[in-house]
Amino acid sequence: MIRVVVVDDEPLIRAGLRGSLRDTPDLDVAAAVPVREAVEAITDAGPRVVLLDACTEDAGRLATGIGSMPQPPSVCVLSRSAGKEHIALALAAGASGYVMKDTPPEVLVPLVRFLAAGWTMLSTDASRPVIRHFLADHDRGSVRPRLDGLSPREREVLALLAAGLSNTAIAARLHLGVGTVKDHVSSILGKLDVDSRLQAALLADRAAPASLRLPS
């Protein structure tokens, strides 16, 4: 039997969640309480899963406190916000799930079962910003080693190239000959393993902001 505690300051939300889990043989909603009663209810019930309202300033503190229990339950934050800051705070506080409050009720039962089995669960709207952030970090990580092979002057040329300047404009900006700039561009393309100025500019754009700076 999977014991569940619902924590939400809105009576209708608590009733709706309890109703969605009712009549499921392997689930037992041991308590459905407002935030002020959460710690006592969780301590008394010893649930495997807690569905926790995120619309309270106490949610982060509660998630952290629950995570420090000797045998902490899996905590799934219920939220109306899919902002990456909110998701990051919830996961950093030890939440095992982050689900939007407009999630279809029929999803709730399998969600609770997965959480009880130790899975981390994110609803679609919540997972998108997490995946985008991960891919952006991965992308920057794969670009940085290629940029590390550039000389300081080549970095300056690449930054200006990425800003849309022509070879002539780059030469004037850096007080170089146009032929010298062409040589630098050719070297940059070779070191970055790209075939065109556009591809080099795209790599520069994907790099971390601190990796390339426009010369003053």
Domain ranges of the chain: 2-130, 149-211
CA distance linking residue 86 with residue 186, whole number of Å: 45
Q: What pLDDT is stored for residue 192 in this prediction? A: 84
CA distance linking residue 172 with residue 169, whole number of Å: 5
CB atoms within 10 A of CB 124: 10
CA distance linking residue 32 with residue 13, whole number of Å: 10
Low-confidence stretches of the chain (pLDDT beneath 70):
55-61, 63-64, 67, 85, 92-93, 127-143, 206-216
Burial class (CB in 10 A: 0-12, 13-18, 19+), 75: buried
CA distance linking residue 63 with residue 165, whole number of Å: 51
Q: What pLDDT is stored for residue 48 in this prediction? A: 94
Q: What pLDDT is stored for residue 55 in this prediction? A: 65
Class of domain 149-211 (CATH, top level): mainly alpha
Q: What pLDDT is stored for residue 109 in this prediction? A: 94
Task: Say which CATH architecture domain 2-130 belongs to.
Answer: 3-Layer(aba) Sandwich (3.40)
Q: What pLDDT is stored for residue 111 in this prediction? A: 93
Please identify which residue in the block is written with the tokens 């309270």: 56
Q: What pLDDT is stored for residue 200 in this prediction? A: 81
Q: Is the entire prediction scored with pTM above 0.75? A: no
